[in-house]
Structure formats: structure tokens, C-alpha cells
Structure 1
Amino acid sequence: MSELLQVQNLVKHFEIGGGWLGGARQVVRAVNDVSFSVGRGQSLGLVGESGCGKSTVARTLLRLIEPDSGSIHFDGCDLRQAGAAEMRALRRRIQIVFQDPYSSLNPRLTVRQALAEPLRVHRLGSAAQIAAKVEQTIQEVGLPISALDRYPHEFSGGQRQRVGIARALVLDPELIVADEPVSALDVSVQAQILQLLERLKVERGLSFVFVSHDLGVVRHFCDTVCVMYLGRIIEQGATARVLDAPLHPYSKVLRDSSPVPDPQARIRLSRIEGEIPAPTNLPPGCTFHPRCIHAQPHCAASIPVLEPRHEVGRAVACFHPLGN
């Protein structure tokens, strides 16, 4: 299996404070040395608590946010070195589906206009060809052709997300970055959208970077998973293996805190200390050590490296991984 996307040592920091608002300037260390890869036709999940940097990573992949350092290679092309014209062509092949389908759609445009716009921008066909492509795509996501002449406010949340997916599909991309695409939807609608994405992945051979805080959704949809904590990937591997037998103490806490849809199941929560530190004031060494019951003095002295463990594709950044 060839790799479609390769991310190496990605870093993104934000400065806050200062200026006319006053106060001391601080640096939010949103993404710190993140590396991963996505194979063709595969889906990779980014999971973690709110504020761990997973959505920032997603946006840097399309350079909606410019990274500070690191490399992003898509099908052999260095996205960080791409000029405006080259990046415009590459964005046909990489699309994004946002969390809130309503705010990501222009309320002044009908669905037909919203889907036709990217085709016209990229000059992909005549007016008749564009109209045919739009009608084909809206049906592919499970909406009737009559939906094309309606506005976003006339749809339910699930229907709007189908429109958002259609807008991403209309350019025939190879990689879709899905940033919490079902978190704003009811559970029953979530299942329908996930089934749609699964079907599209198979039929179109799509690759996904799937951002979510819902481990149940990630288990269902993603082939591999990266667990993030305070801007770093602290464990990665095949989804079932990471969630069933986590190696990092934080991964186990995250897994145990995830709701289980079984009233008979007995849940034993892992012990965890304190609150998540602020990204403007990261603790030294392993950033999880202030909350970890397995921490030793040397955990505060140096940052653990993400190293391969056990089976192929499995890696963990911990001096005292579980199960050892």
C-alpha cells in the first residue's frame, strides 16, 4: 500500500495577548512535532481532548493555517513549497468537510450554485457538463435533484452535512479531511452519515484524515488512529489494537472515559490526577506526567520520543508504556 499523505515534524504555534488589548504576549503551542502518514484508500483518525491540536493539524494539511515548520507531502508533492497556482490545483485533490455544515455553506447560494461554483472556478467543463456533474453528485450523497434549488436553511442538520460532503466530492478528490463531521448531529443521523462516508470510501477509493473526539465513531470508521495530547501524538497504530490494548496511560484514560452503549456493561474509570495544563504553559518533559500515576522523576526531565512497539505500525511516546 503506497502512502498518499506524509506529514513530518509539523509545528504550529499562535501568539496571543499584547497589542492594543494589552497584557503579556503568550505562545499557544497548538501542534508540536506531529508526524503521520495515510495510505491510499485508508482512513486515519486523530483523537484527543478538546484543545489537543487535532483540528489545527487538519487545517494545516490544506494550508488554511500555515504551519511554522515541518513538511507535508501529498502524492510526492511538497505542499509547503507549492506556489499559488500549484496549490490551487492540489486543492482539487484534497477537500475538507467541516463540523458545522450550516456555517460552512453560503446562505445566499442555492445548493446548485454552491456545488457548481468550485467546478467553474477550476474551469472543469461546459455549463451543461457542470450541471450534469452537480446532479450526479447530489444524488450520490442521498439527496434528490429537487434539493439543488433550495437554500441551506431549508435543510435539516443531516441534510446540510450531505450537501457539505457533496461540495467536497464534486471535484473528485483523493483525500478528504473530515473535521468532526458528525459531532453536531443526532446519533441516528450520525450513523447514516458514517455509512455514507464508508460507502464513498469504498466506491471512490478515498483516503480520509478523520478528526473526532468520539472513540466509537473512530473505531467504526478509521483503519488507524493517532492519539493526541497537548499538541503531540502520544500513541498510534491500528484502531482496534490501540483502543482494545492501549500502551500509553493517557490512551487508556481516554478509552475508559468513552461512553459504552450497553446498560449492562460495568465501567471502571482509570485514575487520573489534576486538570489538563494550558497550552501556553506546557510542563517540562512528558506533558502528561503531572497527571500520570505511573510518572517517575525522569519523566519530567525529557520528552519521550514516539517509538515503534510490538506489532508493525504501532508506536508510543512513553517511558513506561502499559503492558511492558
Structure 2
Amino acid sequence: MNTLLQVRNLVKRFESGGGLLGAPKQIVRAINDVSFDVGRGQSIGLVGESGCGKSTVARTLLRLIEPDSGSIHFNGIDVRGADAAELRKLRQRIQIVFQDPFASLNPRRTVRQTLAEPLRVHRIGKQSDIESKITKTLDEVGLPQSAMDRYPHEFSGGQRQRIGIARALVLDPELIVADEPVSALDVSVQAQILQLLERLKTERQLSFVFVSHDLGVVRHFCDEVCVMYLGRIIESGPTAQVLDSPFHPYSRVLRDSSPVPDPAARIKLSRIVGEVPAPTNLPTGCTYHPRCARMQPECKVTAPALLGMQADRQAACFFPMESTTD
């Protein structure tokens, strides 16, 4: 695989509490030792429950949130070590599409102004070139030229997300970080946006880090998937293999909890107990052991490493599941 993005041992913690009333500070362990690679033209999905750290990982890749430790290399360039000038150049090659297309667009800027701003910031092209680039990019995402002088509130949710995608594309990036890009949209519109992203991925040979809680969307769009739980990747591998035959008990529960678009389907839920532990007070050993039906004494003491199970498959579990009927 021709690796474009390499992430190693990424860690991010936040402080919670404290202040004038003297409440004790607590440490929120948002990301704990996360590592993965993204190849050229490849899409990697980050999935898990709300609060598992997947969106925090996405934002650290662009240093919108500064990680505490670990390394991020983009095409051999050290992202964490980049100064302001180098980081500006990198952000031309790495772009992000946010979850809420209305909140991520300036309501006082027209589409023309929104798409022209990145080009001016990066000093790309003269005015005539910028106009031509905006027109071409709007056509690429399925919006008419007449949309250029309208404001965000004049568009539907799906159209606003197309504008957000166009803003990312206008700089001709190599990698797009998509943070829940379709979760705020109706199902029919989700399908249209996914088809658009799939086409852009093929035509532009784009790479994606795709954050989602919807396993159906991830199955459709992502080549590989990383399952996250309490800030750690607990299983990774080719998407179909991980979702069809997961090794980690949590991956099984996550898959079984995903809605199936078939009223006649019989869904057998895997056993799970309790609630997700607070990220300020993580369990010892395997963080999933308080909820796991396969828990053994070893799980309470030692945290399992993410190890190879099969070719291209990894899981962090002392007692992995052997098959979908296990």
C-alpha cells in the first residue's frame, strides 16, 4: 500500500473541573494510543459510540486540536512538527468536511465568497482564475452557477453539505477528513451525498478518514474500518470482514445494534451489561471488561494490545470471538 497518512500512538487528554469553586480537576482520556494508516485513494472509517474519541482523532489530524503525544506524518511530512507556514501548506492538501453544514458555513457570506476565501488565503490564482475554479467546483458537486450569489439559509441541508464539500475540494486536496458528513441529513439525501463522495474519490483519487456511527454508511463507503471504544482502537481491518465476522465482543455488539433495513429480519442482540464508563475514571485492564460477557480475570488486570488475528485484521482482545455464530 502506498501510504499517504501515518498515525502512531496518538494521545489526547483534556482537563475537566477546577475553577473558582475549587472542584478537583479530572483528566478526560479522549484518545489513548491510536495508530492507523491511510493509503492513497483509500477510505478508512472510524466508528464507535458517542464519546469514543473518533471526532477528536479527526480534528487532531489537522491540528485543529493539538495532540499531547504521538506522531502524524502526511506523505512523509511531520504534521506535529510543522511550523505555521508549513502547516498552511499542509492544510491545502488536507481538508475537512464537518457534520453540520449550516453551522460550518458563515451565514453572512455568499457561496462565491465562501469558496473564494481558501483560494485567496493560499494565494492561488488571479480573480479570473478564482471565478473559473468556483464555477468548475460547484458543477462538480452538482450545484448550478446561479448558486454563487446566494446565502447558506437559501439552501436545503443536502445542498449546504454540497457547498461544504465544494469548499474542501476547491484547494484540490489529497486527503479529506469527513466528520459525520451525512448524519444530519435525511436518508434519501444521505444516499446522494455518499454517491457524490464515492464519485469524487474515484475521479480525484482522494483518500478519506471517514468518521461515522452509522455502520451501514461505513460498509458502503469505507475500504477499511477502525472500531473505537473509550479512546482506543479495539479492532481494525477490511470493512466487510470486520462487520460480518468481528473478533472483538464490542464490535459484535456494535454491529448487532445497528438498524437493519429489513422489517422481516430477525435481529439477535449480543449480550451487554451496564453503561459506558466515564472517560475520567477508566477501568483497569481492558476498558471493556465491565460490560463483556466473555470477561476473564486476566481482562481486569492487563490491557490487551492490538495484535494481528489474520491477514490485515487486528483486535485487542485476550479471548476473541471465532465466528459470527460464536
Distance 1:168 1:323 in 2: 42
**2:149, 2:252 → 1: CA distance?**
48
Superimposed CA distance per residue, residues 253-288 of structure 1 (whole angstroms, 9 cap, x where no aligned partner): 000000000111100000001110000000000000
Match of 2:19? 19
Structure 1 unpaired stretches of 5+: none
**Which residue of structure 2 aligns with residue 144 of structure 1?**
144
Distance 1:294 1:210 in 2: 30
The AA in structure 2 aligned to 1:317 is A
Q: Give, in whole Å, the separation in 2 of the partners of 1:170 and 1:22.
A: 48
Q: Is the aligned partner of 1:178 residue 2:178?
A: yes
Q: Which residue of 2 aligns with 1:205?
A: 205
**Residue by residue, what CA displacement relative to the aligned partner does 1:16-55 show, whole Å, maximum 9, x if unpaired?**
1102253110000000000000000000000000000000
Instruction: Tell me what 1:308 maps to.
Output: 308
Secondary structure at the counterpart of residue 32 of structure 2: strand
CA distance, structure 2, for counterparts of residue 78 and residue 198 of structure 1: 29
Instruction: Return the alpha-carbon distance in structure 2 between the equivalents of residues 178 and 154 of structure 1.
Output: 24
CA distance in 1, matches of 2:97, 2:110: 18
Q: Are 1:156 and 2:171 an aligned pair? A: no
The match for 1:75 is 75
For 1:323, give the aligned amino acid: E
The AA in structure 2 aligned to 1:314 is R
- CA distance in 1 between counterparts of 2:251 and 2:23 reads 36
After TM superposition, give the deviation of residue 313 of structure 1 in Å. Answer: 1.3
Partner of 2:63: 63
Which digits, 9 at most, give the CA deviation of each residue in 1:43-81, with x for residues without a partner? 000000000000000000000000000000000001000
What are the residue-to-residue correspondences of 1:31-42 with 2, within 5 Å?
A: 31-42=31-42
Alignment partner, residue 321 of structure 1 = 320
Query: Match for residue 166 of structure 1?
Result: 166
Q: Residue 129 of structure 2 corresponds to which residue in structure 1?
A: 129
* Structure 2 Cα separation of the partners of residues 63 and 313 of structure 1: 28
Deviations 1:104-150 (A, max 9, x none): 00111000000000001111000000010001001100000000110
| 1:219-249: CA deviation from partner (whole Å, max 9, x where unpaired) | 0000000000000000000000000000000
Where in structure 2 are there 5+ consecutive unaligned residues? none
1: CA distance between counterparts of 2:238 and 2:20? 48
Corresponding residue of 1:109: 109
Correspondence for 1:296: 296
Q: Who is 2:100 aligned against?
A: 100
The residue number in structure 2 matching 1:228 is: 228
What residue in structure 1 maps to residue 194 of structure 2?
A: 194
Please give the per-residue CA displacement for 1:141-160, whole angstroms capped at 9, x wherever unaligned: 00000001100000000000
**When the two structures are aligned, how many residues end up with a matched partner?**
323
CA distance in 1, matches of 2:19, 2:71: 31
The answer for the alignment partner of 2:254 in structure 1 is 254
* Secondary structure, aligned partner of 1:171: coil
Q: Secondary structure at the match of 1:191?
A: helix
Tell me the TM-score normalized by structure 1: 0.99
Q: Counterpart in 1 of 2:285?
A: 285
Query: 2:312, 2:44 → 1: CA distance?
Result: 12
Q: Deviations over 1:160-216 (max 9, x none)?
A: 000000000000000000000000000000000000000000000000000000000
For 1:176, the aligned partner's letter is I
- Output the CA distance in 1 between the equivalents of 2:21 and 2:148: 45
Of all paired residues, the percent bearing the same amino acid is 76
Looking at structure 2, the residues matched to 103 and 9 of structure 1 have their Cα atoms a distance apart, in angstroms, of: 32
- 2:28 paired residue number: 28
Q: Is residue 2:250 matched to residue 1:263?
A: no
Secondary structure at the aligned position of 1:20 is classed as coil
CA distance in 1 between partners of 2:19 and 2:92 (Å): 38
